Amino acid sequence: MSSTFTPAEVEDLIQIRRDLHAHPELAFEEVRTSGIVAERLRALGIEMRTGVGKTGIVATVKGGRPGKTVLLRADMDALPIQEENQAPYRSQVQGKMHACGHDCHTSILLAISQKLAQQAASLPGTVKLCFQPAEETGGGAVAMIEEGVLENPKPDAAFGIHVWQNLDLGKVGVTSGPFMAAVDEFTVTVAGKGSHAAMPHYGVDPVVALAHIVTALQTIASRQVSPLKEVVISVTQIRAGSAFNIIPENAWMNGTARVFDPEVWKELPGRFARVVRGVAESLGCRAEIDYRRHNHPTINDPRMAAIARAAAIEVVGADNVRDDVRTMGGEDFSAFLKQLPGCFIAIGSRNESRGLIHEHQQPRFDVDERCLEIGAEILLRTGRRFLEA
């Protein structure tokens, strides 16, 4: 691999990551984390605004030459998960863990900040460094945008990275077009009429109706939307009843729908409501629906993806850069990509020989830390390439 980071800088990068990993903070509570970010940026003499979107920081490195503005983003929040790893840098906070790798992203962007501070004189244009809160719960990106992160100066493009446990260390995913899915959440309450379980004909059973709804919803993906367009509908929580011999009044469910295609996404709430209401009514029940949008689909701009791919090829070689990595998982980086062209890059972090195989959001998630230098080098080069293009 080709890198401009010195061994001492890489060691520093790893140490920051371990420190952040040991001290995870949940969405919008990243006080210690953003304190460390601010302290580091201040020591580098980098101009910044703190408290943007509650705990976010936006810093600006102005180059010695005029030019465009590029935004580089890292998220900072952890998850409400109890870590089960035994590493010396494991979480020291009960019930909280960096189980998605945002500790990696924050430390990578700090390492990039240091490089940019050194390179400022030769830099054509401006780099905005965006340390974002609350990706996991959603809302962090939008909060920063509402508080002006995309103004004064307005960036011309946005780039971000995510460590990626579905990719081996040394591999990088740069996908042009749809990369991560839209994230919708639905809650349905089916109202029937309670009765004795032995005399169902005196009531209207909402449990049977809910069961039919769960099954019928799958026909949106399998029968209603083109098989060439991905749709996932997962009902993840169901609640009803209080005893084995009573048909309850209500049944409740909650879950998520994921889709890439903007047209399919637009039509999804309508399709969902038609199936739910129609099935409920056909069985004599009434359905109440709460349907929410969390994240837009994350769609990489083809021109920006080409810039990121060129940078990735420089760092890990063409054979290690894949263009087919996609997931139905979601990201609130999509809020930036809705307003700016840009690209979100997947940095392989899995290493089977070291047992680093656990998925994101799992209590044994951990990365091969060699991905940190790769991620930092690629994001740095991507930003510079954009400004120099």
Closest alpha carbon to 133 in 23, 25, 21, 28: 28
**Closest separation in Å from C-beta 17 to Zn ion:** 14
**Type of residue numbered 350:** R
C-beta nearest to Zn ion: residue: 100
Q: Report the nearest approach of Zn ion to the CB of residue 108 (Å).
A: 13
CB of 336 to Zn ion, least distance (A): 14
Element (H, E) at 137: none
Distance CA 223, CA 131 (A): 42
| Closer to Zn ion by Cβ: residue 271 or 360 | 360
Q: Which is nearer to Zn ion, 153 or 329 (CB)?
A: 329
Q: In angstroms, what is the minimal distance from the CB of 162 to Zn ion? A: 6
Note the residue count of the chain: 389
SS3 per residue for 72-122: EEEECCCECCCCCCCCCCCCCCCCCECCCCHHHHHHHHHHHHHHHHHHHHH
Q: Give the whole-angstrom CA distance, residue 111 versus residue 195.
A: 64
Strand segments (E) across the chain: 47-52, 56-62, 65-75, 124-132, 157-168, 172-173, 177-180, 182-191, 195-196, 231-240, 246-247, 250-259, 286-295, 298-300, 321-322, 342-350
CB nearer to Zn ion: give 275 or 345: 345
Shortest distance in whole angstroms from residue 135 CB to Zn ion = 6
Q: Which is nearer to Zn ion, 77 or 156 (CB)?
A: 77
- Minimum Å gap between C-beta 100 and Zn ion is 3
List all residues 6 or more positions away from 42 whose beta carbon is below 8 Å from its beta carbon: 48
Cβ 63 to Zn ion shortest distance, Å: 30
Taking the least distance from each CB to Zn ion, the nearer of 100 and 123 is 100
Q: Which residues of 227-258 are buried (b: 16+ CB within 10 A; e: fewer)?
A: eeebbebebeeeebbeeeeebbbbbbbebbbb
Cα Rg of the chain, angstroms = 23
Nearest to Zn ion of 100, 141 (CB atom): 100
3-state secondary structure of 307: helix
Which one, 126 or 327, has the nearer CB to Zn ion? 327
Compute the least distance from the CB of residue 34 to Zn ion, in Å. Answer: 17
Could you tell me where the DSSP H helices lie in 228-325?
A: 262-282, 302-316
* Rounded least distance, CB 92 to Zn ion, Å: 20
The nearer residue to Zn ion, 61 or 257, going by C-beta atoms, is 257
- With beta carbons less than 8 A apart as the criterion, state whether 217 and 275 touch: yes
Closer CB to Zn ion, 115 or 162, in the complex: 162
Which positions touch Zn ion (CB under 5 A)?
Answer: 100
Shortest distance (Å) from residue 152 CB to Zn ion: 28
State how far Cα 337 lies from the chain centre: 13
Instruction: Please give the distance of CA 250 from its chain centroid, rounded to a whole number.
Output: 34
CA distance 273 to 291: 9
Output helix, strand, coil percentages for the chain, rounded to the nearest 5.
Answer: 40, 30, 35
- Between residues 250 and 295, which has the closer beta carbon with respect to Zn ion? 295
Residue type at position 149: V
